[in-house]
Structure 1
Amino acid sequence: MSDERQKPPTGTIRPVSPVVLAVLGIVGLVLGWLVHPLTVELSGSAPVVTWPQPTLLGFVAVALGRFAWDTRASVRDRARRLEPHRAVNRLAFGRAAAYVASVLGGAYAGYALSWVDSRAELASDRVLWSGLAAVASLAVVVCGVLLERACRVRLDDDEA
């Protein structure tokens, strides 16, 4: 029994699945497409997407990318070794960001597509800003996956 307590737990965490990200994006796409007719039916007007949404998502993508870069450097550099609990926290943060941004990106893309053939006054603005928010969400997904991948350590690493 004492031998079991002295052994560190072993195991691996599988990387985020592209299939899961795609399914979440498709769910978001459908939900985003439905926002337009449902909000018009319920409140008489549809939400307006403007510059703050894609800008904020762009800032999040840049921050995640920088965090991934620093994490990768910490994992590779033995002098700045990343503590295991911090690596797991960063991995979870990257994965959560990728999941949420996948749904958001799909939702913004669906909302933009719902306005493509519309002759409404702000339709072109909604398509533009929703499309940019979808692209920025995709950047967040990529940077979240990069952050998750940056937390990988070699199995033969004696300090892992």
Structure 2
Amino acid sequence: MIDPPPEPPEDQRSPEGTLRPTSPQALTVWGLVGLVGGWLFHAYSVRQMTAAPLVTWAQPLALFLVAAILVVTARATWRTVHQRGERLQPHQAVNRLVLARACAYVGVLAVGAYLGYALSWLGDSAELAEQRAVRSLIAALGGACVTVGALVLERACRVRNDQDGP
């Protein structure tokens, strides 16, 4: 009888294929990067550009649209996986998880950037400073909705591990 090959050392074993949820620390770092970037963008635009850019209504509306799409996708995924007990095709599950992760990072980066841009206009005497600040705050809210929708989609993609018990 042939003996099975010896078990490889623990540090050489292949990964089990599990993913951890998006960490709050990573989201915090990206939010702070966005905050500093938004603040610095105002200073850069005043010095190097003819005028600081306006935040149009299209930007926050686009963020709210992405958030709505994420929430609808999360709801459909939750119903499929958790209520009906069906499995997603592997490529569908990976695509939704990648979408969720990317949108969570980009959403929190947008929150920070728009919030930094809005805060940089507070107390500024420029003609459209108040408009820039208000629209930036609304866009930051849209980015927060994208982040929440992405985290909800990520949660909907989770499947129960058989070792977790009933």
TM-score when scaled to structure 1? Answer: 0.89
Which residue is equivalent to 2:43? 37
Following the alignment from structure 2 to structure 1, what is the Cα–Cα distance between the partners of residues 29 and 100? 18
Following the alignment from structure 2 to structure 1, what is the Cα–Cα distance between the partners of residues 50 and 160? 56
Give the paired residue count: 149
- The letter of the residue matching 1:142 is V
Which residue is equivalent to 1:81? 87
- The letter of the residue matching 1:92 is V
Aligned-residue offset at 1:81: 2.8
Moved over 6 A (4+): none
Structure 1, unpaired ranges of 5+: 2-8
Structure 2, unpaired ranges of 5+: 5-14
For each residue in 1:111-139, what CA deviation from the matched residue of structure 2 results, as whole angstroms up to 9, or x when unmatched? 00000111111001001100000011001
Aligned-residue offset at 1:37: 1.1
Following the alignment from structure 1 to structure 2, what is the Cα–Cα distance between the partners of residues 50 and 118? 19
- The letter of the residue matching 2:147 is V
Residue from 148, 152, 155 that aligns with 1:146: 152
Following the alignment from structure 2 to structure 1, what is the Cα–Cα distance between the partners of residues 123 and 45? 18
Aligned-residue offset at 1:22: 0.9
Residue from 18, 21, 26 that aligns with 1:12: 18
- The letter of the residue matching 1:84 is P
- Over the aligned positions, Cα root-mean-square deviation in angstroms equals 1.5
Aligned-residue offset at 1:50: 1.7
Aligned-residue offset at 1:103: 0.8
2:114 matches 1:99? no
TM-score when scaled to structure 2? Answer: 0.85
Which residue is equivalent to 1:6? none
Residue from 121, 126, 129 that aligns with 2:132: 126
Aligned-residue offset at 1:104: 1.1
2:119 matches 1:113? yes
Following the alignment from structure 1 to structure 2, what is the Cα–Cα distance between the partners of residues 101 and 48? 20
- The letter of the residue matching 1:73 is R
Which of these two proteins has the greater Rg computed from alpha carbons? Answer: 2
Following the alignment from structure 2 to structure 1, what is the Cα–Cα distance between the partners of residues 150 and 124? 34
Percent identity between matched residues is 50
